[in-house]
Amino acid sequence: MPYIGKHPNFPSACFVLGFGGNGITFSVIGMQMISDLLKNKEHPLAEYFKFRR
């Protein structure tokens, strides 16, 4: 599972990391999640991909 979102130690950065063999699928999800994050909206999958899950 990749890590997508903000990291507690880097509050001004957004991350989309660790795709493995599912890069195309997770890169689309990552793009949607970061887009929502920048709009101050909560993405429904954010809980699954967050750091320190």
Whole domain around residue 43: which residue ranges? 3-49
The residue ranking higher by pLDDT, 23 or 49, is: 49
Closest CA to 33 of 45, 17, 20: 45
Residue 18: per-residue pLDDT: 86
Residue 19: per-residue pLDDT: 79
Residue 23: per-residue pLDDT: 84
Residue 20: per-residue pLDDT: 79
Residue 50: per-residue pLDDT: 94
The total domain count for the chain is 1
DSSP E strand boundaries for the chain: 3-7, 10-17
**Per-residue pLDDT tens over the stretch 13-45:** 999 998 778 888 899 999 999 999 999 999 999
